[in-house]
Chain A
Amino acid sequence: MRSFETMNPAAVSVQLLLAACITLFCLEPSLLLISLLCGLSYFVLRNGGGSRGFHLAALGIPALFAVLNPLWNQHGVTVLFFLNDRAYTLEALCYGAVTGVRLAAVLYWFRNFSDLMTSEKLFYLFRFLSPKLALIFTVALRNITLFRVQMHKIQETQRAAGLYREGHLIDDLRGGLRVFSILLTWALENGIITASSMSARGYGSGRRTSCTFYRWTRGDVILLLLSLALSAASLVPIAYGALKREYYPVSVPPHYGAGYFLAVGAYTALALLPLIYAGKEALTWHSLRSEI
């Protein structure tokens, strides 16, 4: 069994996007908390204790939303207090907290997505959409690093020519613009040369062939099918309203029946997939199957 990030990008992105999308689909606190916890712990597992700023922003959101939502939302019957003659209700507070948790969970899943799906992997996926777009995308990516190196060279030359005074705002600004202008001229000419060179080597003259970086192995197919099956098992009850919780005017919980537990259980398994793959020493395929 390979680690999660080395699996086929299509399967990985399907898992991550489904986990994020189902989170968007519902407003049930239990499912949202599970989603947040799984997304958060996978993020921490990959990044360690760092990125404190991101945690602060993502986890501060629920609190902020909870406090702010009642200011706009006048629904709900349990009035806590009045602010400028507008009722501040408990129900609106709860609703704000729930939407906040939802946004935080989605933020973590998207963050995991952008950590895992490097530009090369996204290119592999983009290819299916359109080869021409994928080419523009890769050339732009290559150009970014190229231009950064070139910009550095131009800056050094300008500095050596004595065109900068250290720590002078106007000079910095003018210098920045001059460097950008030089870079632009060079970049456009360089681009034309690249294009001519491509035409000379026969780009666009015949049938296109392509090179694949990633293969589909049995493990990838299993991950893909598992993600799809679990999402379906979770989405079908959700579509039938198994997680439908009323927030206004009073909170009415959903019916805690088979549908509810199927939806939440299947989603839990889906959200746990990256963690399970990450902890492959402890958990084997067999225990994964028995957990479902």
Chain B
Amino acid sequence: MLLIRSERLRRTLQFVLPFAVMPAVLLLPKETMGQYYAFISFVMVLCALLLFLAGFDRRELGTRRMILVSVMTALSVVGRLLPVIKPITALTVLSALYLGKEAGFLVGALSAVLSNFIMGHGPWTPFQMLAWGLIGLFAGILSKPLLRSRLLLYGYGLLSGAAYSLLLDVWTTVWTYGEFTLDAYAAAISTALPYTILYAVSNVLFLALFAKPIGDKLHRIEVKYGL
């Protein structure tokens, strides 16, 4: 990916592969891939992740922004260790809003890897990285309206909690049954429903708690040091 010189081609591939090719592969009839289904989906997600990471690396983040990304990553990992507070999504969204979409993706994806050093790695790590990374990426892309309206921000929190759960349920289905069928997916979604609601509600709660104080602090840093 780093070898592709043309910026536009790289950017197109970066978005087309995860959003068009991957779902298409997931929806292919099972017979075409047979027993390799789980493996192929795992590799696809890993590739999508690498593509994103490699694509972002080329852009100039700047030393300060880079260090701030690692600061926010470390904070969300440390926050995951505090008793009640689970702020990864909130911190990812907020860093995306103030530091840009690349920063959002990196904070989300890296928080997932690093906190899994404590919580335990597994085949789900790439899925978590991708899910949290995408939450950050889209928050960064939508930063203008999200910064303007608090209500939209809460809506985004709600939606991202649901989306995170739905994406990880794809993993559960594929790994449990070795194939992706809508029946099994529906079953997985319905068993995970309490968690989905918990995620969504706690996202909104933490965004409501954090948006003002953390947003102000990030904004202050942005203004003070001219990022």
Contacts and interface: CB of A to CB of B under 8 A. Distances in A.
Interface of A: 20-21, 24-27, 65, 69, 72-73, 99, 102-103, 106-107, 110-111, 113-114, 119, 129-130, 132-133, 135-137, 139-141, 143-144, 146-148, 151, 172-173, 176-177, 180-181, 183-185, 187-192, 194-196, 198-199, 203-204, 244
Interface of B: 2, 34-36, 38-39, 42, 50, 53-54, 57, 61, 63-64, 66-71, 73-75, 77-79, 81-85, 87, 106, 110, 114, 116-117, 120-123, 175-178, 181, 183-184, 187, 209, 213-214, 217-218, 221, 225
Contact of B84 (A65, A137, A173, A191): A173
B82 A176 contact: yes
Contacts of A198: 63, 67
Given A133-B57, A143-B71, A195-B67, 11 more contacts: A72-B183, A107-B122, A111-B120, A129-B50, A137-B70, A140-B74, A143-B74, A180-B79, A183-B75, A184-B217, A195-B68
A172 B57 CA distance: 40
A198 B57 CA distance: 19
B90 to A, nearest CB: 11
Nearest to A198: B63
A130 B82 contact: no
A135 B114 contact: no
B177 A99 contact: yes
Contacts of A129: 50, 53-54
Contacts, number: 150
A119 B117 CA distance: 8
Contacts of A180: 79, 82, 85, 87
A20 B126 CA distance: 15
Contacts of A190: 71
A185 B79 CA distance: 14
13 contacts: A24-B36, A72-B184, A119-B114, A129-B54, A146-B74, A180-B85, A184-B214, A184-B217, A188-B71, A189-B221, A191-B64, A191-B70, A244-B35
Contacts of B2: 130
The 3 closest A-B pairs by CB, nearest first: A143-B74, A114-B121, A140-B70
A191 B71 contact: yes
Nearest to B124: A110
A292 B31 CA distance: 34
Contacts of A191: 64, 67-68, 70-71
A203 B176 contact: no
B160 to A, nearest CB: 21
A141 B118 CA distance: 12
A114 B117 contact: yes
Contacts of B66: 132, 135-136, 139, 195
A195 B63 contact: yes
B74 A192 contact: no
B175 A103 contact: yes
Contacts of A196: 64
A139 B106 CA distance: 13
B123 to A, nearest CB: 6
A132 B75 contact: no
A114 B120 contact: yes
Given A99-B176, A188-B68, A244-B35, A147 B75 contact: yes
Given A99-B177, A136-B69, A144 B77 contact: yes
B63 A199 contact: yes
A26 to B, nearest CB: 6
A262 B127 CA distance: 34
Specify which of A21, A141, A177, A188 lies most central, judged by the most chain B CB atoms within 10 Å of its CB.
A188
Contact of B63 (A111, A173, A203, A244): A203
B85 A192 contact: no
A184 B75 contact: yes
B120 A176 contact: no
B177 A69 contact: yes
B180 to A, nearest CB: 12
A130 B54 contact: yes
